[in-house]
Amino acid sequence: MGTAVKESIMIEGNEVTISNPDKLLYPEAGITKVDYLQKLAFLSPYLLRYCGGRYLTTIRCPNGIHDKLFYQKNCPKPQPPYVHTATVEDIHYVNLDSLSTLMWLGNLACLEFHPSLNRIGSPFPAEWIIDLDPTLEREPRIMEAAFAIGEILESLRITSVPKTSGATGVQIYIPLAEQKHYTFEKLRKLGHFIASFAVQKYPKLFTIERLKKDRGDKIYIDYLQHWHGKTLSAPYTPRAREHATLSTPLLWKEVEQGCDPRDFNLHTIQERLQQKGDLIAQIPPQHLDAHLSRFH
């Protein structure tokens, strides 16, 4: 047995230990732990924007994507003094509020970041997300489906941003005006209204059938996932997939042209962000009062 390699780096005045920097986390993509940490450092302004101030769940793959993985809600031990937590029902969630914390999580091989849909201390959703979940493992219609939902939202004058989930699905992301205290309950009713309309308009493409065995080959509009205590993949989170894909906001034009989610990965994201910036941050937070007033 070889001895574990460890080195330390100073970040924000904190000493962060890096163990086994040459360990391959993504074999097909050729990404070692030190490569991964460098990519996380570049992504940090975006991951902190969408994960900071939330209750964070991570997926850890200590020996890379093809070995055992596990979900982690409780803050790993030992917890360095620079890592802050927020507690809900005896679970001490990490608050991803600094680059030091991100590097610490990266060293623990946290390959996915799934934040709560509400901010720490608030019962209200911070954004509204409609999740499109293919029933088929390979679904060539997923971008067509996302575009159809985008058109329905546009007809309601709701501006949204599509993003790859980083896995097989697409999520439609609607930033909410911060001063508006929209509830999960009302947004779920609006989600059900839009999903039901989509199923009616495109009966061969969409379903709202919750049981996978009853969906056939249709794409599930999961308006139920947007709820208290649930999570969705953060914008710009890597995923534990062989192409090293990550959840990437898209232009509607790219969706219309049927882009391939595998093209948005840890190797390509830096150039994309330098060229296009954060597409979510470029749209105004949405006011949904007129739509939600119909639901009591």
Give me the pLDDT at residue 268, please. 98
Give me the pLDDT at residue 295, please. 78
DSSP assignment string, the chain:
-PPPPEEEEEETTEEEEEE-TT-EEETTTTEEHHHHHHHHHHHHHHHHHHHTTEEEEEEE-TT-TTS--EEE-SPPSSPPTT-EEEEETTEEEEE--SHHHHHHHHHTTEEEEEEEEEETT--SBSEEEEEEEESSSS-TTHHHHHHHHHHHHHHTT---EEEE-SSS-EEEEEEB-TT----HHHHHHHHHHHHHHHHHH-TTTEE--SSGGGSTTPEEEE-SSSSTT-B-PPTT-B-SSTT-BB--B--HHHHHTT--GGGSBTTTHHHHHHHH--TTTTSPPBP-HHHHTT--
Give me the pLDDT at residue 5, please. 80
Task: For residue range 46-94, list pLDDT tens digits in order.
Answer: 999 999 999 999 999 999 999 999 999 999 999 999 999 999 999 999 9
Confidence tier at 1 by pLDDT (50, 70, 90): very low
Q: Could you tell me if 256 and 148 are in contact, meaning their C-beta atoms sit under 8 angstroms apart?
A: no
CA nearest to 244, candidates 98, 42, 44, 32: 32
Q: Among residues of the chain, what percentage have pLDDT more than 90?
A: 93
Tokens of 101: 């914390």
Give me the pLDDT at residue 181, please. 84
Mean pLDDT, rounded, of the chain: 95
Task: For residue range 97-140, list pLDDT tens digits in order.
Answer: 999 999 999 999 999 999 999 999 999 999 999 999 999 988 99
Task: For residue range 132-188, list pLDDT tens digits in order.
Answer: 999 998 899 999 999 999 999 999 999 999 999 999 999 999 999 876 789 999 999
What fold does the segment set 127-293 form as a domain?
A: DNA primase, PRIM domain (3.90.920)
Give me the residue spans of the domains in the chain: 18-119, 127-293
What is the pLDDT averaged over residues 16-28?
96
CA nearest to 144, candidates 195, 220, 212, 205: 205
Task: For residue range 223-276, list pLDDT tens digits in order.
Answer: 999 999 999 999 999 999 999 999 999 999 999 999 999 999 999 999 999 999
Residue 277 pLDDT more than 50? yes
CA nearest to 231, candidates 128, 136, 114: 114
Give me the pLDDT at residue 296, please. 66
Residue 3 pLDDT more than 60? no
Give me the pLDDT at residue 6, please. 86
